[in-house]
Amino acid sequence: MEYETIENYEDKNWVCIRVSAPRAHLDMVTAIMSMVDNALMIEDFSDVLQDLDGVYGDLIDEELLGKDRETAAVSVFVPDEKSPAEAEFFVRARLLECGIDAQITTSGVSEEDWAESWKKYYKPIKTGNRLVIVPVWETYEPAPEEITVLMDPGMAFGTGTHETTRLCASLLESYVKEGCTVLDVGCGSGILAISAAKLGAASAYACDIDPVAVRIAKENCVLNQTENVTAAVSDLLRDVPEQRYDVCVANIVADVIIRMAPDIGRFMKEDGVLIVSGIIEERADEVLSVLSANGLQTVDGKRENGWYAGVVTKR
């Protein structure tokens, strides 16, 4: 078992988000949790008796011997001023995208407070030069040049507070042109597809593997009166209509982008672009290399607080 203590964190209030999953997925779960914070506690009891050869077996605590060796857990500690619920939404969405059957628990906050606590961190956010993401319960008077996108994220990832969402939204401002078509893979709350429609896209197709996210995306389309956005359930590109789009966007996770790389090209117009994010800076080169190997050339990119968003086009 490996762990890092939080003894030096006593001056703050922390929420522990714990993910328990089959040990075979430990590396992927650890990678996803490290996107929230690098200070992790990893519980892996698979090697309790390794190399003991029975010599010290009698000295091991019976409780430790009884631990499940087929299941591992990773915990991350989030200070309550950083919206732990947003972090949980992020982790939940990434686990689902990676097809990992995991149990997520939180501690350090009451269930009643958890249901509403995230709202106090969610205020109008300007993601670029024009787009402003506004929670539906807030009042906001936009400047003449600003475009507001109303959001009620519910239990879907995508409020505009996370760096990856802001990076993608700001890049959409640069690449969405009047009358273009947009594909949003892993849409979450629908924030990016709706933003594209508000920026002038003629139509946007938003898909997610999570039916709850799709339902919330549809509700947000109604809030924003964006009838030209279609939201549907799809495991990545599996059920996306076979057509070519001017702009594709995938704010998911590095490994899923890599898995999607061989197929995304057939959904892109010859002069179309793909915006990718959900990528920690350390893996940006790896993702871009795989996209390049599948005929996609990097033309733009942005970084913020350890996160990367890139833009590629067909060579």
Give residue 112's pLDDT: 52
**Mean pLDDT for the chain overall:** 84
Give residue 9's pLDDT: 41
Instruction: Write out pLDDT tens, residues 171-207.
Output: 999 999 999 999 999 998 899 999 999 999 999 999 9
Structure tokens at 207: 């898909």
Whole-angstrom CA distances from 189 to 147, 153, 156, 207, 224 are: 18, 5, 5, 10, 12
Give residue 55's pLDDT: 42
Does 208 have pLDDT greater than 50?
Answer: yes
Tell me the percentage of the chain whose pLDDT exceeds 90: 49
Does 69 have pLDDT greater than 80?
Answer: no
Give residue 90's pLDDT: 81
Domains of the chain, first to last: 2-117 (3.30.70), 122-314 (3.40.50.150)
Rounded to the nearest 5°, which phi and psi values hold at 301? -175, 155
Weakest-pLDDT range from 13-27, 86-100, 127-141, 230-244 = 86-100
pLDDT band at 137 (very low <50, low <70, confident <90, very high): confident
Closest alpha carbon to 152 in 179, 127, 116, 177: 116
Give residue 79's pLDDT: 78
Closest alpha carbon to 202 in 234, 227, 238, 174: 227
Residue 71 CA to residue 59 CA, distance in Å, equals: 23
Instruction: Write out pLDDT tens, residues 253-302.
Output: 899 999 999 999 999 999 999 999 989 899 999 999 999 999 999 999 99
Whole-angstrom CA distances from 206 to 136, 148, 187, 189 are: 20, 19, 6, 10
Give residue 182's pLDDT: 98
**136 vs 194, which has greater pLDDT?**
194
